[in-house]
Copies of this chain bind each other. A is one copy, B any other.
């Protein structure tokens, strides 16, 4: 049994949030290794305080369980897809929200697909350095570089809100401009507040690619992109999302092998804490 995230509860019945590790990184193109992230995050989770001074809540009072990791082989996305779908559908049917821990960004596809079955009017908020809107990547349809395009085919491009994008092909930027709600380069609080107001009442799934952070703040990732936001800016954006009906989320692309000072792991842990507290409403 894996070491659990600190403060996780043993009682499954009364929990409203399930933390789920998805240790998959088979399509990573630049620097793989994110499949080790869920266990690293758990191992060091006691390194932070359980109390969030931002939300005035304490993880020790949060009704969440740690569901462990999806058991999977490393290179077969169709196996992964099936296993994740089954698990998420099961959690949703027990009225548990899921916070998925990648792994690479492709893991968001099966999670979001399962959510779309339960919430036909699902909206997706996407924080990332990369557009992930390619039709295919190196001939592959299912890749970390195509994941938002694939999700858009399920829930519709008009339900996708992208923030912080600063890298992609000319085609991806054009597609984003035309098809999705596309707010590149920064996490502008005024724009986010406007979007939050538009999304009132809708079920929202949040996918957070940690490389939206500048590599100064988050070096431990597979495809670092200079020019990103600070931790403060990301945190400010997340806290604005508290006003939403957040039904699920994921945090992806921590790559422990490149986290030379453990700071990226600690950063991911703090964001897990904040999202667990936001999901437990």
Are the C-beta atoms of B42 and A3 separated by less than 8 Å?
A: yes
A219 partner residues in chain B, CB cutoff 8 A? 261, 263
Residue of B nearest to A169 (CB): B51
A49 to B224, CA, bound (A): 12
A171: nearest chain-B partner, CB-CB: B51
Q: Which of B53, B166, B185 contacts A184 (CB 8 A)?
A: B53
Across the interface, A170 reaches (CB within 8 A) one of B30, B58, B214, B225, namely B58
**CB atoms of A39 and B43 under 8 A apart:** yes
Interface size bucket, A side?
A: 35 or more
Which of chain B's residues have a CB closer than 8 A to the CB of A139? 73, 76, 79
Which residues of chain A in 56-107 are interfacial with respect to chain B, using CB atoms and an 8 Å cutoff?
A: 56, 58, 73-76, 79
How would residues 202 to 244 of chain A score, 1 for a CB under 8 Å from any chain B CB and 0 otherwise?
Answer: 0000000000001111011001111100111001000000000
Of residues 12 through 55 on chain A, the ones whose CB sits less than 8 Å from some CB of chain B are 25-33, 39-40, 42-43, 47-49, 51, 53
Number of copies: 6
User: Could you say which residues of chain B place their CB within 8 Å of the CB of A39?
Assistant: 3, 43
Q: Are A53 and B215 in contact (CB under 8 A)?
A: no
**What is the distance, in angstroms, from A238's C-beta to the closest C-beta of chain B?**
12
A214-B226 contact given A4-B1, A167-B48, A184-B53, CB 8 Å threshold:
no
Q: Which of A4, A140, A167, A263 has the most CB of B within 10 A?
A: A263
Which one, B26, B51, B173, B230, contacts A53 given CB within 8 A?
A: B173
Q: Is the CB of B167 within 8 A of A261?
A: no
